[in-house]
Amino acid sequence: MKIFKLLLYLIVRNIRWQIIKLAAKNNEIIKIIKGNKMILSTSRKGADLKEHSIFKQLALDGERESEATKILEKIIKPGQVIFELGANIGYYVLIETNLIGPQGKIYAIEPEPANFALLKRNVEINKLNNVQLFNIAISDQAGNFPFYVTENSNLHSMIEPKDGEYKKVMIKTETVDEFLKGKGEINFIRMDIEGYEYNALRGMRETLEKNPNISLFIELHCNLIGPDKSKAILKDLRAYGFEILYLVAHDNFQRRIMGETTVEQMSINDFCNDPRLLNKQNAFEIFFSKQNAQ
């Protein structure tokens, strides 16, 4: 019954998507996302019937990563300063700017040029004065390093893909610690950088130590980095005083239709012993907070 429900749902979605594409002007539409306008492409890779791109999902649903979005909306407070690593085309940026208000600030990093251009347009169309954009990548050292641009706008990475078509470009990198020098207290970091989490965290040690009330939202790509590096990340965060606040698994529309999306609370220690870390198909959206946060 669940499979039939999913198939029916996908058929209806694809019919709706074809109608949206036919109505699009210059292969773009404007969707209202949480009260803000968002420009979406109807032609970029992943925007066809078989693929599941951010463009298609937002055009059809008006949101993505539904459970993680709900948690983020509970955590972010007015006036906070947010650091976005892997802002993509700005879905979370548009949500966060509403939550922090005019007294807050967002520093948004997006290395891929096409994504950055659309991110910039989405910030400009909403006249967001509390968002600063940077077309760089974050690593554990500053310099110029290879960045791999794939056909799917969600999957660009500092890690060379094992298959599929991609092109290599050189891009400027900075560490979080160097980038944030002189920028004051940081309250929240969201990181979705396709398997480069370990390197990014090695370059933000000072930031994690010096911000007692900082919270993190990390998409942990166990499917890309494997269980050993995933555990190393978790243990490093525990050493900085973090614990898991919420762990979200299978947060996509197919899994939600099948009733497989979960929101859990567990310790880092328990998650390090969780057999799901060994499954190379899994990625998790994890919210961390410091145990001694005021």
Find the CATH number of the domain harbouring 112: 3.40.50.150
Q: How confident is the model at residue 151 (pLDDT cuts 50, 70, 90)?
A: confident
The answer to whether position 182 is within a domain reads yes
Q: Taking the alpha carbons of 12, 253, 65, 220 in that order, is the dihedral positive or negative?
A: negative
pLDDT score, position 159: 72
- Total of domains in the chain: 1
Whether residue 18 has pLDDT greater than 80: yes
Mean pLDDT value across the chain: 90
Any alpha helices (H) in the chain, and if so which ranges? 2-23, 54-61, 66-75, 91-100, 113-125, 176-179, 197-202, 205-210, 222-239, 253-257, 268-272
Q: How confident is the model at residue 48 (pLDDT cuts 50, 70, 90)?
A: very low
pLDDT score, position 294: 55
Closest CA to 65 of 252, 282, 249, 257: 252
Q: Is 65 exposed, middle or buried (0-12, 13-18, 19+ CB in 10 A)?
A: buried
The answer to whether position 247 is within a domain reads yes
The answer to whether position 106 is within a domain reads yes
Q: From edge to edge, which strands make up the β-sheet containing 137-138?
A: 137-138, 166-174, 143-150
Question: Out of 20-24, 100-104, 166-170, 235-239, which region has the weakest mean confidence (pLDDT)?
Answer: 166-170
The answer to whether position 14 is within a domain reads no
What is the rounded end-to-end Cα distance, in angstroms, of the chain? 48
Task: Tell me the sheet residues that pair with 215.
Answer: 188, 289
Q: How confident is the model at residue 118 (pLDDT cuts 50, 70, 90)?
A: very high
Q: Note whether 14 and 22 are within 8 A (CB).
A: no
Whether residue 185 has pLDDT greater than 50: yes
For residues 95 and 1, the model is more confident at 95
**Mean pLDDT across the stretch 75-95?**
97
* Residue located via tokens 């972010």: 76
d(C-alpha 215, C-alpha 110), whole Å: 20
The answer to whether position 17 is within a domain reads no
For residues 259 and 214, the model is more confident at 214
pLDDT score, position 43: 83
